[in-house]
Amino acid sequence: MTMKLIHTISELRAELGKYQRPALVPTMGNLHDGHLALIRQAKPLGDVTVASIFVNRLQFAPHEDFDTYPRTLEADCAKLQAAGCDVVFAPSERELYPEPQGYKVTPPPELADILEGHFRPGFFTGVCTVVLKLFNIVQPRVAVFGAKDYQQQMVIRRMVQQLALPIDIQTGTTLRAADGLALSSRNGYLSPDERAEAVQLSLALKVMVEALQKGEQDIAKLEGLALKNLSDRGWTPDYLTVRRRHDLQPPQTADFAPDRLVVLGAARLGTTRLIDNLEV
Residues constituting the chain: 280
> Measured between alpha carbons, how far is 51 from 84 in angstroms, rounded to an integer?
11
Question: Using an 8 Å Cβ cutoff, are 25 and 89 in contact?
Answer: no
CA distances from 198 to 174, 184, 190, 236 (A): 16, 11, 8, 12
Active-site residue identified among 7, 32, 35, 246: 35
Q: Does the annotation count 35 as an active-site position?
A: yes
CA distances from 267 to 202, 217, 234, 264, 276 (A): 11, 23, 10, 10, 9
Non-local (6+) Cβ contacts of 253 within 8 A are 217
Report, as residue numbers or ranges, the catalytic residues: 35
